[in-house]
Amino acid sequence: MSLKVENLFYTYMKGTPFEKEALNNVSLEIGDGEFVGIIGHTGCGKSTLVQHFNGLLKPEEGRVFIDGELMNKKSLKEMRKKVGMVFQYPEYQLFEETVYKDIAFGLKNEKLSKEEERERVLHAARITGLEEELLEKSVFELSGGQKRRAAIAGVVVMRPEILVLDEPAAGLDPEGRETILDFARRICDEDGVSVVLVSHSMEDIARVADRVIVMNDGTVEMEGTPEEIFSQSTRLEEIGLTAPQISKLFDKLSQEFPQIPRKVFTVEKAADILEDILKGGAK
Ligand SMILES: Nc1ncnc2c1ncn2[C@@H]1O[C@H](COP(=O)(O)OP(=O)(O)OP(=O)(O)O)[C@@H](O)[C@H]1O
Ligand SMILES: [Mg+2]
């Protein structure tokens, strides 16, 4: 499914002394099956933007379309089913006695048979990387990363066509971050779900996104492939962002060693290149 945002404006507490313009004329599109990363420094409007994708916030000005259809009061209920929204720190919303019940919670109104329900829960658990034996445990027995994934599975189980993850890896250790990012890539590749990943980690976005949208002060500042975005390190630094560390390193190395390519944005790619060079050198 596709999503389009046209000339979106949003101001918090309008007409009060605390008025804060959070979005200023934002237009963008997310294509069917696409994986888009949204990046930008703290307070630039990322969460405000994505809360318009499922109608949680109503545009002050501008329009949101899902599959070409305008989001409004009438269409909102149906559209919400297509958009799975995972907020920052979703694990605080877990409350059922078992992980299974928590994941299945949203299915209550779907009138599924027990078998159908189980199948949906098992798929959501599998794709988020939760082992089946965890399902009968209490959420209190899970690690931080597992809790986070259980909360995400509770959204995935609803079979959204687009999944919006707002800082899904925040506060997790490196292994926890990796598992979540791998899951996000997998649900896009295996289930054809469009994914929007909000993050302020350049490393995370470089690893998984096909396209990057850079926000700054309530506007879309840059848009392009990771390669296009991360090669503009000066422009990124001007808006308080830094290209992934590894890309800076390769930029420098490539100036010294002609056999080293300049545009390398992930540690995995860097490792492959260095391995090839070292093997070549040992011959
Ligand atoms: N409920 C609110 N009331 C008033 N102002 C708000 C509210 N929520 C956000 N803001 C302000 O709107 C601006 C955009 O906030 P938003 O949460 O969308 O940014 P963000 O890019 O998601 O930041 P972060 O990376 O910290 O999550 C910020 O200046 C923020 O202080
Ligand atoms: Mg935010």
Residue nearest to atom 6 of ligand 1 (CA): 12
Closest ligand by atom to 199 CA: 1
> Quick one: which H or E segment has residue 74?
none
User: For the ranges 6-15, 207-216, 239-248, which has the lowest average pLDDT?
Assistant: 239-248
Closest ligand by atom to 41 CA: 1
The token pair at 71 is 């989001």
pLDDT digits (tens, 9 = 90+) for 173-204: 999 999 999 999 999 999 999 999 999 888 89
Given this model, what pLDDT does residue 242 score?
Answer: 82
Q: Is the pLDDT of residue 283 over 60?
A: no
φ, ψ dihedrals at 106, nearest 5°: -70, -15
Residue nearest to atom 23 of ligand 1 (CA): 43
Answer yes or no: is the C-beta of 218 below 6 A from any ligand 1 atom. Answer: no
d(CA 38, CA 209): 9
The token pair at 119 is 């199948």
Residue nearest to atom 27 of ligand 1 (CA): 42
Answer yes or no: is the C-beta of 234 below 6 A from any ligand 1 atom. Answer: no
- Domains in the chain (CATH in brackets) are 3-243 (3.40.50.300)
Residue nearest to atom 1 of ligand 1 (CA): 12
Given this model, what pLDDT does residue 282 score?
Answer: 53
Ligand 1 atom closest to the CA of 45, numbered from 1: 18
pLDDT bin (cut points 50, 70, 90) of residue 251 is confident
122 CA distance to ligand 2 centroid (A)? 30
More confident residue, 161 or 248: 161
Given this model, what pLDDT does residue 150 score?
Answer: 96
197 CA distance to ligand 2 centroid (A)? 11
What's the mean pLDDT in 203-220?
94
Q: Is the pLDDT of residue 172 over 90?
A: yes
Closest ligand by atom to 215 CA: 1
Given this model, what pLDDT does residue 281 score?
Answer: 66
Answer yes or no: is the C-beta of 44 below 6 A from any ligand 1 atom. Answer: yes
Pairing between strand 162-166 and 194-199?
parallel
d(CA 229, CA 232): 6
Given this model, what pLDDT does residue 176 score?
Answer: 92
Q: Is the pLDDT of residue 120 over 80?
A: yes
d(CA 167, CA 178): 13
User: What is the b/e burial string over 23-43, where b = at least 16 CB atoms within 10 angstroms of the residue's CB?
Assistant: beebebebeebbbbbbbbeee
> The whole model's pTM is what?
0.92
